[in-house]
Structure 1
Amino acid sequence: MRTRRLSPGFLFAAPALFVLTVFFFGPVCAAFVMSLTDFDIYALASLHNLRFVGFANYLDLLQTPLFWRAFANTCYFAFVGAPLSIAVSLIAAMALNVPAVRLKSLHRTALFAPYVASLVAAAVVWRYLLGSGGAFDEILHAIGLPAVDWLGDPRWSMPAIILFAVWKNFGYNMLILLAALQNVPQDLYDAARVDGAGPWMRFHHVTVPGIAPSLWLVALLTTAGYFQIFAEPYVMTQGGPAQSTVTLLYFMYQDGFKWWNLGHASATAFILFAVLVGLSLLRPRTREGVA
């Protein structure tokens, strides 16, 4: 009887399971097998040239200086850019959550617009804004500061890309946090005011615990997304200057599609996958029963 009750559910899920198997699980398994081989341009010509090398690709990556440079750049981008993006999202959400703010729908749409804009198109525009004589240099000149070679100086290239990524992505997190803020009971704020709590105390003891689950979700999704940065350095800097914006995905792209070391590139993908799995397991303890 139980099998008969479950069979319609499996029948309805079968198309989705088929698509996932063919277009997701199948390629993932094939990529893992490829990471255990020396699959390169010669193997593309003839599979007779393909050799099984085990975990040699992984060990070779761990001895490659450019891989570690790419890993460091990716960590820098993720662990600086993600908190900054979340902070901007939270500030924007709290500003929109103030009852006195008028035209909330218009403001919400304007702040969300960068997220839905084409990433490549926006990156091209920002490349010109950050270039020599661009809008950013004009602003610095107007306030009496020297111009900065944002994308040509290794000290400023990654901060410039972080600034662009924060502008591009904060709107999505803003909507999630705004919905969470609107679900925090107003009674908690009223009780805190009666007890003499100021704005900071109300934020620390009411707002943060009330939105903690959503805040953790936003932090996880943003950090995981920032670890997968590729289009920004590809369009704006091509990994330069002096390899200061080479990231793991950019390194993997060059390894796989420029030098045709597809076994190497697949190994890089699974190292990144292991890092993201490890990050997803780092869930902080939150106080229950606050909101």
Structure 2
Amino acid sequence: MKTLERSTSAVPPPQRSRRPFWTARRRDHAVGYLFIAPQLAGSVIFVLIPLVMVLWYSFHEWNVLAGTFHSVGADNYRALADDPKLPGVLRNTALFSAGLVTLNLGLALALAVLLNQRLRGRVVFRTLFFSPVVVSLVAWTIVWGFLLQKNGGINAFLDLVGVQGPNWLRGEGTAMLSVVVVQVFKNVGLNMVLFLAALQGVPQEFYEAATVDGAGRWRQFWRITVPLISPTILLTSIITVVGSLQVFAQIAVLTQGGPGDSTTVLVYYLYQQAFEFHHFGYGATLSVLLFLIVLVLTVIQWQMRKRWVFHEN
């Protein structure tokens, strides 16, 4: 018995095999992080860090010409609240955004529905409407600037039908409308393509069943088409709203904020304060205001999706 106990105690306990560090799960995670590393680095360098720097600059006053840079606390934000021009600038921004979003989305959806039909030459028309999207923004705006002059191509065409056109870019009642129309024609093709892709994903069986039930085309559009493409409508509305709040080149090339301040939107006003008047601290404060407006509107649209976007309620 003692011999058996002695021999049993002499047997070493079994050792655990060490688990390798680079398991299949960790390798998959590492590969995933490597794939997103360039995008993540770009977002940090060109988005996150500039946002933090803008917020920091908004509490300072930086005069490049005088070579001074000092902290002013919340003075820039108090100046923002007391700025007499800011209400008019915000009103112009709201008018431009509302006009652009309404015309762009409405026209894009109408073109998508029309070009989704089996029409002769629809590929050519799709290309024509989308081609302005790939044209240089500045070149597009310069050409339209010539067309909208008092003796430009638009008024020359109106003269042929006996109508005397106004000075589109110098009238307070027509300048904002002109800028909106130029921007609508520039980007309507992008939303049109997105709507076309959504429309082609709607099952035809739904329309056939609705036709059998006696539903007309208008009722089919509101009861079938709009609900099923509502996620795309949400996407395009967010993209268009954010883009409308960031308009700059069209204003700078066509009207320079005039006549008066009738087309001075928030981004152009920011540019004036920072790069024309060299108030970089106040310009940074306006940038913070723009960021907050975009953030609030995006969150509102995202929350409203639960009420009208299909599969979200």
- What's the TM-score, normalizing by structure 2? 0.85
Tell me, in whole angstroms, the C-alpha distance in 2 between the residues paired with 1:19 and 1:185: 39
Aligned residue for 1:157?
A: 175
CA contact (8 A) 2:112 2:192 kept: yes
Listed as ranges, the matches of 1:135-214 within 5 Å are 135-214=153-232
SS at 2:85 equivalent: helix
1:22 deviates by: 2.5
1:192 deviates by: 1.4
Tell me, in whole angstroms, the C-alpha distance in 2 between the residues paired with 1:86 and 1:61: 33
- Which amino acid is the alignment partner of residue 61 of structure 2? D
Match of 1:71 among 90, 94, 98: 90
Tell me, in whole angstroms, the C-alpha distance in 2 between the residues paired with 1:114 and 1:287: 30
Tell me, in whole angstroms, the C-alpha distance in 2 between the residues paired with 1:276 and 1:150: 29
1:289 deviates by: 5.1
Structure 1 vs Structure 2 CA RMSD: 1.9
Runs of 4 or more, structure 1, over 4 Å off, are 1-5
Per-residue CA deviation, residues 141-200 of structure 1 (Å, 9 max, x unaligned), is: 233323211011111100011111111110000000000011111111111111211121
Aligned residue for 1:20?
A: 43
- Which amino acid is the alignment partner of residue 272 of structure 1? L
Q: Check if 1:89 corresponds to 2:111.
A: no
Higher mean Cα deviation, 123-132 or 50-59? 50-59
SS at 1:50 equivalent: strand
Match of 2:253 among 224, 228, 235: 235
Q: Check if 1:110 corresponds to 2:133.
A: no
SS at 1:39 equivalent: strand
CA contact (8 A) 1:83 1:219 kept: no
> Which entry has the higher C-alpha Rg, 1 or 2?
2
SS at 1:133 equivalent: coil
Tell me, in whole angstroms, the C-alpha distance in 2 between the residues paired with 1:206 and 1:4: 46
Tell me, in whole angstroms, the C-alpha distance in 2 between the residues paired with 1:14 and 1:183: 33
Q: Check if 1:276 corresponds to 2:299.
A: no
Per-residue CA deviation, residues 220-272 of structure 1 (Å, 9 max, x unaligned), is: 11011011110011001111111111111111111111111111111111111
CA contact (8 A) 2:231 2:309 kept: no
Tell me, in whole angstroms, the C-alpha distance in 2 between the residues paired with 1:81 and 1:8: 42
1:5 deviates by: 5.4
CA gap of 1:272–1:143, structure 2 versus 1, over 3 A, is: same
Match of 1:32 among 39, 50, 55: 55
1:42 deviates by: 5.7
1:8 deviates by: 3.9
- Which amino acid is the alignment partner of residue 133 of structure 1? N
Tell me, in whole angstroms, the C-alpha distance in 2 between the residues paired with 1:196 and 1:280: 39
Tell me, in whole angstroms, the C-alpha distance in 2 between the residues paired with 1:97 and 1:114: 20
CA contact (8 A) 1:137 1:147 kept: yes
SS at 2:308 equivalent: coil
CA gap of 1:11–1:126, structure 2 versus 1, over 3 A, is: closer
CA contact (8 A) 1:62 1:68 kept: no
Which protein, 1 or 2, shows the higher relative CO under an 8 Å CA cutoff with sep ≥ 6?
1
CA contact (8 A) 1:70 1:251 kept: yes
Tell me, in whole angstroms, the C-alpha distance in 2 between the residues paired with 1:18 and 1:147: 52
1:18 deviates by: 2.9
CA contact (8 A) 1:188 1:206 kept: yes
1:12 deviates by: 4.0
Tell me, in whole angstroms, the C-alpha distance in 2 between the residues paired with 1:136 and 1:281: 40
- Which amino acid is the alignment partner of residue 25 of structure 1? L
Aligned residue for 2:17?
A: none
Tell me, in whole angstroms, the C-alpha distance in 2 between the residues paired with 1:42 and 1:70: 26
SS at 1:65 equivalent: coil
Aligned residue for 1:130?
A: 148
Which runs of 5 or more structure 1 residues have no equivalent in the other structure?
Answer: none
Match of 1:80 among 81, 96, 99: 99
SS at 1:218 equivalent: helix
- Which amino acid is the alignment partner of residue 308 of structure 2? T
